[in-house]
Copies of this chain bind each other. A is one copy, B any other.
Amino acid sequence: MSKYTLFTPGPVDIPEDILHETAQKAVYHREAQFAELYRATSEGLKHILGTSGRLFLFASSGTGAMEAACSNILSSSDEPVAAICGKFGQRWLELCQAYKITPVVVQEEYGCCIKPETIEAVLKQKTKPTIVFTTLTETSTGALNDIRVFGEITKKYGAFLVVDGVAGIGADRCPQDEWHVDIMVGASQKALMSPPGISFIAVSERAYEKTKKSDLPTYYFNLAIYEKFRSKQQTPWTPAINVLYGLNKGISKIVKMGLDENYAHHRDVAEYVRERVKNMGLETLARRPSNALTVVKMPANLTSTDIITELKEKHGILFANGQAELRGKIIRIGHMGDYTIEKMRPALDALEHIIRG
């Protein structure tokens, strides 16, 4: 059906062997075969995340897992911090507001990263431990936040650190336990190379303890309900079984390659893309760029909407446009997951051809 190859920052171009894996007959989710699939997927994922925490798998998009994190860790009396530098960071603010909680907002311009010292300045003034919501890889701008330093600061002030890693996990290294991340949020359709439909959160013990005291209403994403089934290697509600086949395959490919090798590969591809666009005379939007995607600013005389359409229609290459106020002004090039320099080259050649007119 698809008439183009995806170079979008999620969903990604899913490898054929993973697609093939998803097309198996479903097992029954109350049976031993499912428990084994659940166990293998969870173990591999926790290895990639670098955590020994509790992993919860949801049938939802990444936003669902963000809501799970938010609605389980927060209580109505909490005064959290939303550290935002793009559209996906903004989602944390909207989530808090949906639950009638008003966070302190730490905001940076699109393209910038959140400054650790700004977070520290806020935490210093808090009279009780709080919760900091932020983003690893901001898909709207390509910026990579310095989660390692954020983790040092939140630890120092006894705060909880909740990170949207949806676009970064598997592409940008962020070892959860080592970097003191209390909740890491992810999804299947980015660097884990699988179809969309599964999301997850990995929760530290202290964060899990805090979720027990939450007074916010939750059901589909209620962790206490999930926990009862997690111990049986099941989910309380029918899981996205076929997507899980794919996710397990994607994870096992990364584990087999080795984490260091995998991150080095992502860095190499990302550096190649950045070098190519620089040689076209273009600038990247992010000063501290992610290895998951590259976001390129358009010169004043060009609109990305036209370029994206031409690349799609003439070359079968799909890049993503900017969102909201950035629409027409940037091109977002995804290279998380199954992308190589050889695969990026013709796509960038085609872009260069248009740019050079």
**A127 in contact (CB, < 8 A):** no
> How many Å lie between the Cα of A103 and that of B355 in the bound state?
62
> How many Å lie between the Cα of A26 and that of B62 in the bound state?
17
B1 touches A320 (CB 8 A): no
A98 touches B239 (CB 8 A): no
> How many Å lie between the Cα of A280 and that of B314 in the bound state?
65
Q: Take A62-B237, A195-B243, A240-B196 as given contacts and tell me if A25 and B2 are in contact as well, using a CB distance cutoff of 8 Å.
A: yes
In-complex Cβ contact of A98 among B25, B64, B98, B219 (8 A): B219
> How many Å lie between the Cα of A156 and that of B239 in the bound state?
39
Q: Take A243-B195, A243-B197, A318-B28 as given contacts and tell me if A3 and B33 are in contact as well, using a CB distance cutoff of 8 Å.
A: yes
Nearest-neighbour CB distance to chain B for A193, whole angstroms, equals 11
**Interface code A1-14, partner B: CB below 8 Å = 1, 0 otherwise?**
11111101011011
Q: Which residue of B has the minimal Cβ distance to A216?
A: B217
**A241 in contact (CB, < 8 A):** yes
**A252 in contact (CB, < 8 A):** no
**Interface code A205-245, partner B: CB below 8 Å = 1, 0 otherwise?**
00000000000111111100000000000001111111101
A62 touches B22 (CB 8 A): no
B238 touches A61 (CB 8 A): yes
By a CB distance below 8 angstroms, the chain B residues around A8 are 28
B30 touches A320 (CB 8 A): yes
Main secondary structure of the interface of A (DSSP, over half): loop
**A180 in contact (CB, < 8 A):** no
A25 touches B19 (CB 8 A): yes
By a CB distance below 8 angstroms, the chain B residues around A100 are 217
B245 touches A1 (CB 8 A): yes
Q: Which residue of B has the minimal Cβ distance to A166?
A: B238
By a CB distance below 8 angstroms, the chain B residues around A61 are 59, 220, 237-240
**A20 in contact (CB, < 8 A):** yes
**A109 in contact (CB, < 8 A):** no
By a CB distance below 8 angstroms, the chain B residues around A222 are 98
By a CB distance below 8 angstroms, the chain B residues around A245 are 1
By a CB distance below 8 angstroms, the chain B residues around A321 are 30
In-complex Cβ contact of A59 among B5, B27, B60, B94 (8 A): B60
> How many Å lie between the Cα of A184 and that of B189 in the bound state?
29
**A73 in contact (CB, < 8 A):** no
> How many Å lie between the Cα of A232 and that of B195 in the bound state?
22
A240 touches B25 (CB 8 A): no
**A325 in contact (CB, < 8 A):** no
Q: Take A195-B240, A239-B61 as given contacts and tell me if A11 and B28 are in contact as well, using a CB distance cutoff of 8 Å.
A: yes
A52-97 residues at the B interface, CB under 8 angstroms: 58-64, 67, 71, 94-95
Q: Take A3-B33, A196-B241, A239-B196 as given contacts and tell me if A220 and B20 are in contact as well, using a CB distance cutoff of 8 Å.
A: no
25 A-B pairs with C-beta separation under 8 A: A1-B37, A2-B26, A3-B33, A4-B28, A8-B28, A11-B26, A22-B242, A26-B195, A59-B59, A60-B64, A60-B220, A61-B237, A63-B219, A63-B220, A67-B219, A94-B219, A98-B218, A98-B219, A99-B217, A195-B241, A196-B239, A196-B240, A197-B240, A197-B241, A242-B243
Starting from the known contacts A22-B242, A61-B237, A242-B243, 12 additional A-B residue pairs (CB-CB under 8 Å) come to A2-B24, A2-B26, A6-B25, A11-B26, A14-B25, A22-B22, A26-B196, A61-B239, A67-B220, A98-B218, A189-B238, A196-B241
Pairs A-B, 3 closest by C-beta atoms: A197-B240, A23-B23, A195-B242
